[in-house]
Amino acid sequence: MSRVTIAPEEDRLNAQIAFAVEIDKLKRIIRRNHLIDGSRRENTAEHSWHVGMLAMVFGEHAPPETDLQRVVAMLLVHDLVEIDAGDTFIYDPVEVAAQAEAERAAADRIFGLLPDDQGKWMRELWEEFEARKTPEARFAKALDRFAPILANHLTEGGTWPLFKVKASQVKEKVRLIQEGSPSLGAYALRLVELSVARGHLAE
């Protein structure tokens, strides 16, 4: 009986296909935030696409010499761990406390599906985003925090009143935006203050 031989390149492709199929699951992870038209809650895949686009649109607000292609890649990768770990509500201290361990285990499994070189590359992007030690990571985090603030502001508070979020809590997240982009941080702060003035966010 002849033995079927699988070429190394076919093994590599099969691993890439397995990863491609797995990350489709990100479309079913539902976040707390609503779409800007208020019609429904967004899923994490939509969020990742949106902030990736924002990196290109708001690139001029990044620190000088920021590698925007790396920022886009980081944003496409940064929430893949939610396939296993789920969406963490950033204003819930219990969820946040459990987040790091759950997401690290998810990163081990999900990036481990890829061929070693690609898995290492994407894992490094994810680790860089989490550490926020590079201009690219800080700008990526700024966009990740800016998007929901913009959405909540444009939907009369969105999830803020629903979960009894206060302005002081949102301003803590604005500091992360300011670290990555002072101009976007200043704009986000104005949105928070305007939302308070309109009664859409508790003082």
CB atoms under 10 Å from CB of 22, counted, come to: 16
Range of the structural domain that residue 145 is part of: 10-33+41-197
Residue pLDDT, tens place only, 78-113: 999 999 999 988 888 888 888 999 999 999 999 999
Separation of alpha carbons 103 and 4, rounded Å: 38
* Beta carbons within 10 angstroms of residue 166's beta carbon: 13
Quote the pLDDT of residue 7: 65
Residue 133 sits at φ, ψ, to 5 deg, of -100, -10
Domain tally for the chain? 1
CA nearest to 150, candidates 180, 182, 188 = 188
> 18-69: per-residue pLDDT in tens?
999 999 999 999 999 999 999 999 999 999 999 999 999 999 999 999 999 9
Residue whose pair of structure tokens reads 């928070």 in the numeric block:
192
pLDDT score recorded for residue 2:
52
d(CA 71, CA 77): 10
CATH at residue 166: 1.10.3210.10
Residue 3 lies in a domain: no
Q: Which DSSP string corresponds to 84-115?
A: HH----TT-HHHHHHHHHHHHHHHHHHHTTS-
Q: pLDDT tens digits for 111-121?
A: 999 999 999 99
Residue 203 resides in a domain: no
- Alpha carbon distance 128, 141 (integer Å): 10
The pLDDT value given to residue 6:
60
* Mean pLDDT, the chain, whole residue set: 94
In a domain, 1, yes or no: no
Euclidean distance between CA atoms 201 and 192, whole angstroms: 8
Assess if residue 129 is contained within a domain.
yes
> CA–CA separation, 203 vs 193, rounded Å?
9
Q: Is residue 169 part of a domain?
A: yes
The verdict on residue 60 lying in a domain is yes
Secondary structure class of 18 (helix, strand, coil): helix
**Is residue 179 in some structural domain?**
yes
Residues of the chain with pLDDT > 70, as a percent, come to 97
The pLDDT score that the predictor gives to residue 179 is 97
Q: Name the CA radius of gyration of the chain, rounded.
A: 19
State mean pLDDT over 162-168.
94
